[in-house]
């Protein structure tokens, strides 16, 4: 007989242990999934609006700074150097079936107004409608161009014939075989890790 006043502790039932394990395990899975699928905060959020051949239009939120657009253009450059595979950047192959690769030639325009990334507007621009061309190029916030091994990226407009304007700041121009400059990584955003 146990001494008076002392309570004996019953062991947890197997069902209770199992329920606790499922409860804790589900939170661990949710946290792990959120951590692994967190968005990349070193570049601004963007969407691919239209694609016609090797021309791709992307849309960033209104109010995106030039520094943020620069980080996006530099990310396109990094992908061009490392893998030459823009599929992970949400871009369909621009030169499918080409022996030089599915992204041998690509021209990415960056806008902060979704209206300019509409497929119909891009088609009018490609057709050379003079009413569209001037405003289209004026609304351009940045660009990345890759042709075989030559690449170029900048902040500001790029004319249809490939000429930069006085409002354009060229960030880089060279070959994808050139070494990438060593730069400090941008701020990665706030971690959701509780640790």
Domain extents in the chain: 12-41, 47-175
Residue 25: pLDDT band with limits 50, 70, 90: very high
Residue range 142-189, pLDDT digits in tens: 999 999 889 999 998 887 777 777 888 889 999 888 888 876 444 444
What is the model's pLDDT at position 184? 46
CB 44 within 8 A of CB 69: yes
Which pLDDT does position 100 carry in this prediction? 83
- Determine contact, residues 122/128, Cβ cutoff 8 Å: no
Tokens coding 35: 């951590």
Q: By the 8 A CB rule, do 153 and 74 touch?
A: yes
């Amino acid at each position: 007989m146990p001494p008076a006043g002392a309570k004996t502790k019953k062991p947890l039932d197997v069902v209770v242990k199992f329920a606790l394990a499922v409860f804790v395990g589900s939170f661990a899975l949710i946290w792990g999934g959120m951590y692994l699928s967190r968005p990349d905060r070193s570049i601004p959020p963007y969407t691919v609006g239209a694609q016609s051949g090797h021309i791709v239009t992307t849309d960033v939120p209104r109010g995106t700074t030039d520094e943020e657009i620069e980080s996006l253009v530099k990310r396109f450059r990094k992908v061009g150097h490392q893998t030459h595979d823009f599929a992970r950047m949400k871009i369909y192959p621009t030169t499918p079936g080409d022996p030089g690769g599915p992204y041998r030639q690509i021209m990415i325009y960056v806008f902060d107004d979704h209206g300019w990334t509409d497929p119909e507007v891009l088609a009018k621009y490609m057709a050379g409608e003079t009413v569209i061309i001037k405003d289209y190029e004026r609304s351009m916030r940045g660009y990345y161009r890759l042709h075989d091994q030559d690449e170029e990226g900048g902040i500001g407009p790029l004319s249809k014939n490939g000429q930069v304007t006085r409002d354009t700041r060229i960030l880089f121009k060279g070959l994808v075989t050139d070494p990438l400059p060593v730069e400090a990584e941008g701020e990665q955003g706030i971690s959701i890790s509780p640790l």
